Homo-oligomer: A and B are copies of this chain.
Amino acid sequence: MSEPETDPEILLRDFLGYHLKRAYVTVHADFRDIMGDAGLSTRVFSALAMVVGQQGITQSELARALGVERSGMVALIDELESADLIRRDPVPGDRRVQALQPTGRGIARFDALVALVRAHEARCFAGLDDTEKDTLLRLLHKVRAGGNST
């Protein structure tokens, strides 16, 4: 009862989940800002990054890696494909799946975007030194590992 009015987050303060969300919202908004209208959304960028990093990955594999449903990937892949950033290649031996391959444009675009995203991250986490960034990364990873594994 010492300072009843100063902090509006009196009861919420103790909840890590609340602060996790607020931090996420802040960072996500900055991502959108720095990308501008021509950029990709976080989810599309993540998918492109995954395809570039693991060429030939399947849509289902990609969905699992990103922790979303398969159905949610379709429109996302459509978007990347119609922008000529990735291709759906048939896989000999399994006519169900389609291997996702980045195009030359896709890789070039990704490299250009990475520079933007690095600038975004530098700005968002400017208040943290390198040790703190490592710590945050480690703790976030622990949170994900400790909960359900999706």
A interface residues, Cβ below 8 angstroms from B:
5, 8-12, 15-31, 42, 46, 49-50, 52-54, 57, 61, 65, 67, 114, 117, 120-121, 123-128, 132-133, 135-137, 139-148, 150
Q: Are A146 and B121 in contact (CB under 8 A)?
A: no
The distance in angstroms between the C-alpha atoms of A17 and B16, with both chains bound, is 17
Q: Is the interface of A mostly helix, strand, loop or mixed?
A: helix
The distance in angstroms between the C-alpha atoms of A65 and B28, with both chains bound, is 18
Q: Are A26 and B127 in contact (CB under 8 A)?
A: no
Q: 30 A-B Cβ contacts within 8 A?
A: A8-B50, A8-B53, A9-B53, A9-B65, A10-B54, A11-B53, A12-B49, A12-B53, A16-B140, A17-B31, A17-B42, A17-B120, A17-B121, A18-B46, A19-B144, A20-B20, A20-B23, A20-B140, A22-B144, A23-B141, A24-B24, A26-B144, A26-B147, A29-B150, A30-B147, A123-B147, A124-B143, A127-B142, A127-B145, A136-B140
Counted per complex, copies of this chain come to 2
Closest CB of chain B to A79's CB: distance in Å?
Answer: 18
The distance in angstroms between the C-alpha atoms of A140 and B124, with both chains bound, is 11
Q: Are A140 and B22 in contact (CB under 8 A)?
A: yes
Residues of B within 8 Å of A49, CB to CB, are: 11-12
